[in-house]
Amino acid sequence: MEIIEGIYLGQRSLLMGSICLLMLISAVILCFKPYEKIANRFLAAFLVVVVLNFSPVVIGFMGAYDKWPWLSFYPFKTELYFGPLLYLHAYALMSQKKIGYQWLFLLPGVVQTSYYISVVISYPNYLDRWKYGGDYHSPYVSHFETFAILFSLLIFLHACWKLIKRYNYFLLQTQSAAQRFKPVWLNRFLPAISLVACILGLFLIYVTIFGRNNYTSEFPSQVLMAMIVCWLGIEAVYRINSRFPKYYVIEPPREVGKNWHKEGEKLKLYVLDNELFLDAELNLKSLASHMATNESYLSKTINTAFDMNFNSFINSLRVDYAKKLLAQSDKAILEIGLEAGFNSKATFNRVFKQISGLTPSKYRNLD
């Protein structure tokens, strides 16, 4: 379908354009969310630079480069921002430390953008740009850029993996509602994008070495990558609805020669007597405050006495309480789950089955 003379809206441009539009909408929503503003804005920036990077695909299939050849070498390539912005999003979301030297991670992206701007300024005539591209960019700069992009993605995806792994462990040690704060959009995104990046990376290496490339040959992998990034943005919009606990190191307690099993029984009795486990927002810090002690001591007590992390310890008490309600009342499953301290029916069902081996409804039907 011809929009204006020489510009056509075809299936490819419509498909990629729709995906990019969804990413931009997600970016705008993230910028206005009241929680985790810094982390959200890094993710919004990531979505924007991805859209910018895929813009040549949209306008290229529309015929824009044929109609306006001066668009050549415009600074649409932004791949060196991808890894750093994704990492900064994860870091701002999970770490209690402020961003300092990490800002320098964006420097390669700035260099990449500056390079393309300098080419456009240096060669205002697009024919000169084409000549520069054939004489210098394609045989030299493009090769270096390809490997710099792959190296950057490898480094920062690995850094994100390490950060998320450490954070998930921290949640289990300190939060009774750990599942609520797990960055599942990143947990799901990283393996998917890593696989696509590997496929695209091999393709780019092949093109760089053998110089055989077709404008349409990259399209399937580009669409797949764009869809995965779009899914990341939409899921983050849905999931980030509260402030996330920030990672900190729990130092081991200084007490030596303690009878940790005896301490564990005292701790369990205190939590049961005061029904602290029924608080859906209970965490290690608030429990330590209740007991006028420190987090290190509680963490050591729970880990040693019960061979559990904090999350498993509290949830086991909640499941025991829920079992009594299931046996003694006709309340709805959701009502029992919420009363037992779980913050959703899905979490209640999952944890109950994990600990007891049965879903709440099946457990009730046994009686």
- pLDDT tens digit sequence for 166-190: 999 999 999 999 988 999 899 888 8
Residue from 308, 297, 259 nearest 319 by CA: 308
CA distance 17 to 21: 6
Strands (DSSP E) along the chain, which ranges?
A: 2-4, 7-8
40 contacts: CB under 8 Å, gap ≥ 6: 30, 31, 33, 89, 236, 240
Residue 256 has a pLDDT of: 62
Residue 176 has a pLDDT of: 93
> Any bridge partners for residue 100, and if so which?
none
Q: Helix, strand, or coil here: 212? A: coil
Residue from 210, 289, 304 nearest 253 by CA: 304
Residue 170 has a pLDDT of: 95
The whole model's pTM is what?
0.89
Residue 198 has a pLDDT of: 74
Residue 280 has a pLDDT of: 92
Block means of pLDDT (10 residues each) for the chain, 367 residues, are 72 92 97 95 97 92 86 92 96 94 96 95 92 90 88 93 95 92 90 77 66 66 88 94 90 74 93 94 94 91 93 96 90 93 92 92 81
